[in-house]
Amino acid sequence: MLLTPPHIVIDALSHAFSDKKKTHEGSVMPVLQNINLSVRRGETIVFLGPSGCGKTTLLRLIAGLIKSDQGSVLVNGAAPQAGIGSAMMFQSFRLLPWKSVRENIAFALPHLSAAERVAPVDKALHQVGLTRFANYYPAQLSGGMCQRVALARALVMEPDLLLMDEPFASLDAQSRELMQAETLRLTEKQLATGSDDVHQAKATLIFVTHSVDEALIMGDRIVLMAPRPGRIHEIIDVPFERPRFMNDPRDVPEFTRLRQHLWASLREMVLSDPQSDFYGRGNEGIASW
């Protein structure tokens, strides 16, 4: 039997930034320590953990936006290069205000001529339900619509790796929930139709969030990280059936159990972290989180 090689292999990865607060030269701040993780093609991995535990740094290392000299990250068997083979989405929409919705999406396809961009941009607009708004400008859209444009701009590249850094954190609760469902619908489409067309194969998704519920809704596995220095505390298999845009995992009793487990771990990490605002409070007053 042929085994498909993993999409991403992270091996003994550590990372440090130079510590700008220290005055003496050569001082470094360790941010990630000995990260080991193998990601299957088509898998959705969620990085969850307290503020400052290095989730974004790890995502940026996978994106090839920064490099580390300790350990390795391989994507498709090679060192990742920014913008090649992956698309990234951020908390801020990063839309160009002077460009229309259509132009913002087309901006992700600089290698194509204007004529060649029309069909893929039309498809992406249709995917996120914004065809009617193609000629609007970002200032004329709601936050949820802006994030749908950002999603379309990522999808139009047809990446096999989608990196999402707290993509819905700035949205109101309702828009956030709608965007989660929308992202599941778009990334799980071939699971729903049963298509085995390789061009429809589910992209590998790496998703950073602070939200326990979002982690459980989106992830196949949750990588729970501990802070200072950032390290893997636990990797949790999320057993809920896919496609999840058709089967809401919140209806399953196991959702509550995993939610409680994750919250207990996060609470413990935050309360025992001397650099956290909550340090030293014990369980007083927040035991019922």
Ligand X SMILES: Nc1ncnc2c1ncn2[C@@H]1O[C@H](COP(=O)(O)OP(=O)(O)OP(=O)(O)O)[C@@H](O)[C@H]1O
Query: Quick one: 98 or 289, whose CB is closer to ligand X?
Result: 289
Element containing residue 216 per DSSP (H, E): helix 212-218
Report how far residue 139's alpha carbon sits from residue 142's, in angstroms, rounded to the nearest whole number: 8
Cβ proximity to ligand X: between 66 and 96 the closer is 66
Q: Which stretch binds ligand X (CB under 6 A): 48-56, 82-90, 150-158, 212-220?
A: 48-56
d(CA 163, CA 63) in angstroms, rounded, equals 7
Return the residue of 35, 53, 163, 164 that touches ligand X, per CB under 6 A: 53
Query: In 3D, which of 237, 288, 280 has the Cα closest to residue 264?
Result: 288
CA–CA distance, 227 with 249 (Å, rounded to integer) = 28
- Total length of the chain: 289
CB of 182 to ligand X, least distance (A): 23
Per-residue x/- track, 185-214, ligand X (CB under 6 A): -------------------------x----
CB atoms inside a 10 Å sphere around CB 211: 16
Which residues, 209 to 248, sit near ligand X by CB under 6 A?
210
Among the residue ranges 49-57, 185-193, 242-250, 265-273, the one whose residues contact ligand X (CB under 6 A): 49-57
Q: Does 51 bind ligand X (CB under 6 A)?
A: yes
Please, what is the minimum distance in Å from the beta carbon of residue 35 to ligand X? 12
Q: Which stretch binds ligand X (CB under 6 A): 54-62, 127-135, 177-185, 211-219?
A: 54-62
Q: State the minimum distance, in angstroms, from the CB of residue 199 to ligand X.
A: 33
Range list of β-strands (E), the chain: 8-18, 28-39, 44-48, 70-75, 86-89, 161-165, 204-209, 221-226, 231-237
Contacts with ligand X by CB under 6 A lie at: 17, 31, 49, 51-57, 210
